[in-house]
Structure 1
Amino acid sequence: MILGGKFTISSVKQYGFTLIELMITVVIIAILAAIAIPSYLNHIRASHRTDVQASMMNLAQYLESQYNASFNYPASTDIPTSLTAPSNISSYYTITVSIGTTEQTYTITATPTSNQNDTQCGTLTLNEKGAKTPTTTGCWK
């Protein structure tokens, strides 16, 4: 409304947000991110642990099939790298196989790399008897 060529207070419309409203929004987003990001990263680490366990079982299955054919486990150098370093986990875990001196036993070990950043769960081992030995409890299923 114009009175005498001047704008009155009632005719001026506000557009946009105030600085306080923007800062409240930023704080809410920061709080949500502080909760969501660590939870997401823990979920990703857990999925990598599941992947390495599946890879260890595939490797154990290969070793057992070789044992059934020759009554000896193959030498560590004869194991295909696709089983000891699968592409989906090789940057997160290192899988090593140690065959016993009589070629009647084996131990598969999965050790987290620095990319996994999983210091609380540690390594997992699997032997020819199917026994799993985690270095810590609660992380490995």
Structure 2
Amino acid sequence: MEHLAGAAQERARRRSSVESAVSQAGLPPGWRSGERTGRAFFNYLTGNLTMRNKATGFTLIELMIVVAVIAVLAALAYPSYQAHIAKTRRVAAGACLTELSHFAERYYTTKMTYEGAQNELPATTCRTELANHYDFSFAADPTASTYRLIAQPKGVQASKETKCGTLGVNQSGTKDVSVSGAVASDCF
């Protein structure tokens, strides 16, 4: 029996210490009446909220802000990406012109003339891959000792390709572009 009386006295002592702390802290009325004690009181004093008291997840405003940030980043990155794609196709067209020039030189080595080379150029892989973006041909029919191969942009590439325009290479390996003021080495 004494044991139960001691436990009751201990609970009363704890309750009075909590009530004195509540009155000193100037807490809301619900706390002062002793309705809330123990862990909830500790959480209130330290600022911790239980999951029942705090909503979780994202608000619509937060999601809209994230969407807006992504849209701004995409608006800045997309034109740069398109310019990079156009430049990559241009460089590939320059490499394809060099390959076609090598075929023309092989033709000259076997025939000792460039005449008729326009009929002998093979359909290389680069020509078929770039067929939607560039037309590869001779600028004019080759003569016995000269030729000029060109890669003319078409479709979307023609609208994006304002830096260099039509690319060209001749029998001596000299590379040129159709846009005045452009440097051929920057385009190939």
Q: What RMSD in Å do the two structures reach over aligned CA positions? A: 2.3
Indicate the percent of aligned positions where both proteins have the same amino acid.
Answer: 33
Residue ranges of structure 1 left out of the alignment (5+ in a row): 4-9
Q: Which has the higher helix share?
A: 2
Equivalence for 1:93: 134
- The 8 Å contact of residues 92 and 114 in structure 1, kept in 2 or not, is answered as yes
Q: Between Structure 1 and Structure 2, how many residues are aligned?
A: 132
Please list, as runs of the form range in 1=range in 2, the aligned pairs for 1:4-43 lying within 5 A after superposition. 11-43=52-84
- Counterpart of 2:174 (choices 124, 131, 137) is 131
CA distance in 1, matches of 2:126, 2:114: 19
CA contact (8 A) 1:93 1:110 kept: yes
TM-score when normalising by structure 2: 0.62
More strand by share: 1
1:120 matched to which residue of 2? 162
The answer (yes or no) to whether the contact 1:63–1:74 under 8 Å persists in 2 is: no
For 1:23 and 1:67, locate their aligned partners in 2 and report how far apart those are by CA, in whole Å: 65
Residue aligning to 1:65: 106
Q: Which amino acid aligns with 1:135?
A: S
| CA distance in structure 2 between the aligned counterparts of 1:22 and 1:84, rounded to whole angstroms | 47
CA distance in 2, matches of 1:50, 1:74: 28
Q: Structure 1 pair 83/104, CA: closer, same or farther in 2 (3 Å)? A: farther
Q: Which ranges of structure 2 fall in alignment gaps of 5 or more residues?
A: 1-34, 36-49
| 1:58 positional shift | 0.7
